[in-house]
């Protein structure tokens, strides 16, 4: 068992009532990328920070992230997450909502266990609360897009900045903050998180269409089934001719009985306009900005290498 899983076990040991805490344990103990705690720990290590403080902060952000997943799955009516039934499917929506709420409170308590200097604790709490609020803003934009006839690429990128990228940014900045990083490095860490988060989500949009479902851990084509206006859809509209554009719009206004046929029709248009390649070019640009952000961090080059390797790995991920 990894250290963070042990940490979660210790937090949840003997907690009652079971119907509140069992769903929390269920989602926290699932195998995941643990990317957000990894970012906290990497940033703290770059500046020789206290590992125990970093572990508390890392766990808090992973718990906040999993809270968003519980509630997102309810709103998206998602049946599967990480290859397993979602919390609301395994229990019910009421229990999932309440467990998600409790998870935020537990995350804040874990953050405060870091026992940092008062000034740093205040800044950490501010970052944590701001991220929670911005994720809600991003989720609301995502919901709004479902009923909007047109969404621009700029509006979509702002939505994923709030819904995904600010968490990456906050994790990196918080790791640097508890380790005493200088202001310029803290800003570079935050910017790195934004650019990494945007690249990460755009890769997710590609994977929803092109991933191996067994590797991906959730159903491929979910965004198409739900008529989600993702980057690949919006970019395809931009690249398509008038006939293809109308076909896409008609397909994304439908809920046919044969979901597979719809997916194949949409994918055929995506392939025809080379939307995957066009999206990968945008990811590559964000990846390059990540590299530039890393160079602005005032840390030893050998310690930067781990971040460089992580950015490169995430650019070409398959899940």
Q: Where are the domains of the chain?
A: 3-315
Residue 54: other Cβ atoms inside 10 A: 22
Which tokens hold the place of 10? 């210790």
The hierarchical CATH code for the domain 3-315 is 1.10.600.10
Strands (E) in the chain, as ranges, are: 80-81, 84-85
Confidence category of residue 132, pLDDT binned at 50, 70, 90: very high
CA distances from 302 to 122, 220, 311 (A): 31, 38, 15
The whole-number pLDDT of residue 76 equals 87
Is the pLDDT at 1 greater than 60? The verdict is no
Element (H, E) at 97: helix 93-112
User: Under 8 Å CB-to-CB from 182, ≥6 apart: which residues?
Assistant: 298
Reported as a single tens digit per residue, the pLDDT across 79-92 is: 888 889 999 999 99
Residue 3: how many CB atoms within 10 A of its CB?
Answer: 13
Rounded Cα distance between 294 and 307, Å, is 8
pLDDT the model gives residue 318: 67
- Please tell me the distance from the alpha carbon of residue 296 to that of residue 23, in angstroms, as a whole number: 41
Q: Among 39-43, 88-92, 125-129, 219-223, which stretch is predicted with the lowest mean pLDDT? A: 219-223
Write b or e for each residue in 141-157: b if 16 or more Cβ atoms lie within 10 A of its Cβ, otherwise e: bbeebeeeeebeeeebb
Q: Max Cα separation, the chain? A: 61
What own/partner pairs with CB < 8 Å and gap ≥ 24 does 269-276 have? 269/236, 269/240, 269/244, 270/209, 270/232, 270/236, 272/244, 273/236, 273/239, 273/240, 273/244, 274/239, 275/232, 275/235, 275/236, 275/239, 276/206, 276/209, 276/210, 276/232
- Is the pLDDT score of 128 beyond 90? yes
| Lowest-confidence segment of 26-35, 116-125, 272-281 by average pLDDT | 26-35
What pLDDT, in 10s, does the model give residues 175-184?
999 999 999 9
Write the pLDDT tens digit of every residue in 213-264: 666 656 788 899 989 999 999 999 999 999 999 999 999 998 888 889 999 9
């Amino acid at each position: 068992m990894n250290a963070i899983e042990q940490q979660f076990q210790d937090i949840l040991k003997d907690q009652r009532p079971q119907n509140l805490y069992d769903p929390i344990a269920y989602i926290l103990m699932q195998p995941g990328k643990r990317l957000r705690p990894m970012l906290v720990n990497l940033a703290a290590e770059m500046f020789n920070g206290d590992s125990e403080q970093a572990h508390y902060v890392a766990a808090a952000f992973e718990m906040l992230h999993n809270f968003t997943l519980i509630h997102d799955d309810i709103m998206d009516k998602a049946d599967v997450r990480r290859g397993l039934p979602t919390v609301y499917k395994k229990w019910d929506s009421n229990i999932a909502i309440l467990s998600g709420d409790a998870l935020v409170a537990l995350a804040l308590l874990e953050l405060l266990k870091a026992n940092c200097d008062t000034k740093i604790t205040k800044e950490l709490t501010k970052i944590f609360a701001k991220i929670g609020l911005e994720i809600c803003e991003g989720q609301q934009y995502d919901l709004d897009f479902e009923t909007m006839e047109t969404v621009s690429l700029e509006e979509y990128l702002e939505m994923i900045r709030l819904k995904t990228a600010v968490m990456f940014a906050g994790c990196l900045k918080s790791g640097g903050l508890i380790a005493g990083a200088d202001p310029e490095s803290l800003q570079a860490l935050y910017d790195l998180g934004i650019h990494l988060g945007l690249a990460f989500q755009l890769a997710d949009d590609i994977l929803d269409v092109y991933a191996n479902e067994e590797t991906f851990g959730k159903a491929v084509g979910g965004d198409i089934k739900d008529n989600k206006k993702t980057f690949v859809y919006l970019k395809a509209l931009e690249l398509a001719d008038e006939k293809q554009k109308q076909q896409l719009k008609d397909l994304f206004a439908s809920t046919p009985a044969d979901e597979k046929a719809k997916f194949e029709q949409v994918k055929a248009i995506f392939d025809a306009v080379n939307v995957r390649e066009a999206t990968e070019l945008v990811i590559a640009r964000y990846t390059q900005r990540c590299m530039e952000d890393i160079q602005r961090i005032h840390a030893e080059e050998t310690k930067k290498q781990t971040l460089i390797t992580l950015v490169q790995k995430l650019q070409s991920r398959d899940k």
